Amino acid sequence: MTRKPRRPLPSGLRATAAALAFSSLLAGCAGDSEDTTSADPDASATPVAPRLGRPIEVGGTPSAIAVGDGSVWVADNVGGTVSRIDAAGGEVEGERIRVGAGPEAIAVGEGAVWVASGDDTITRIDPAGGTAERVAVRVGDPRGIVAGEGSVWVASGSDGTVTRIDPETLEEVGEPIVVAAGQTIAEGGMALGDLAIADGAVWAISVDGATLTRIDAASGETGEPIAIGEFQALGLVAGEGALWVAATDDRLAQPIVVRRVDPSTSEVGASTEIPGAAIPIRLAAGEGAVWITLPGGLRPPDPEPLPSGVAYIESASGELGAAALEVGERPGAIAVGEGSVWVANSGDGTVSRIDPGP
């Protein structure tokens, strides 16, 4: 198994029999999840009843997606561009916006759209006019980006730091914040992944260190790393009253679980195993659920390819949905906003729209 969670595995078979088999597997596990996942007291008690809308053609290899300012912003990893979808009408608007080579992560906030690319660059997009501006600050191997608490925050996959950028001046604020202090790359503690904002703090996962770290947004001070798994932390999102972390305790990523963390106490809560989950895995939270991408493909030593799709955990009940949604080919990114769930499918150049219902 590769140790870089952002590298997609080969796409899985999308045969009807495989989809039905996976739905049956989820149905069998849904009853068990009630004992392992705590309910969110702040979430709506209305059950989730998702429905899949028509696919939206964006082309290229969609690798990252974010929602804000009435639009859905989709980054094409191969083309080095960002497409804009009108969230109300579901239509692609305007021309592709050129950003850095190999965009990996995208965020909306602090008055702009922010794109972190594999060439170590950060691009600011004006959501009103769609014009792009390159930020002078460079971040080595940027894996995660969030905008909030008055700043733009970028996680490095190469040196275990988080860089803070002023959204007005586009200049770096202070020195990069060292998250994996005392850990070396050889010890598996340096590479950072997703970032999230909750409870006045920025949260970062150390991928191979399998930890979650709180960064105080006002002071930049870091807390003690929180053990989140025994092998790898694979994904992170904030929403529905909690932080949600995808992790695995096994070098073959069997199984992958989603763990709930209370951002006010840093306590790690219950876990839910996600059947069929594989690397890479992405999370989104909102509209009454936590949404999880299933990329499909081969997962050694399993001889049969896994079906792809989107699974979900209902926030109010803590239960795993009875069936995964079959979206486009090789779903690689997911976001919630404007009343819908949006899935970027890297295998067929589409975006799937999910109505969370009921």
Please write the tens of the pLDDT for every residue from 105-145.
999 999 999 999 999 999 999 999 999 999 999 999 999 99
* pLDDT level of residue 14 (50, 70, 90 thresholds): very low
Domain 16-355, what fold?
Methylamine Dehydrogenase; Chain H (2.130.10)
* Confidence at residue 318, expressed as pLDDT on a 0 to 100 scale: 85
172 contacts: CB under 8 Å, gap ≥ 6: 137, 163, 164, 165, 166
Q: What is the pLDDT of residue 190?
A: 66
Q: Check pLDDT > 50 for residue 10.
A: no
Task: Give residue 255's pLDDT band: very low, low, confident or very high (50, 70, 90).
Answer: very high
Q: How high is the mean pLDDT of the chain? A: 86
**Global pTM value:** 0.86
- Rg over CA atoms, the chain: 19
- Give the model's pLDDT for residue 250: 87
Alpha carbon distance 191, 176 (integer Å): 14
pLDDT for 246 equals 97
- Which position has the token pair 């999840």? 33
Contact by Cβ (8 Å): 342, 36 = no
Rounded to a whole number, what is the distance in angstroms from the first to the last CA of the chain?
38
For the chain, give every domain's residue range: 16-355
Confidence of residue 253 (pLDDT cuts 50, 70, 90): confident
Q: Where are the alpha helices (DSSP H) in the chain?
A: 16-30
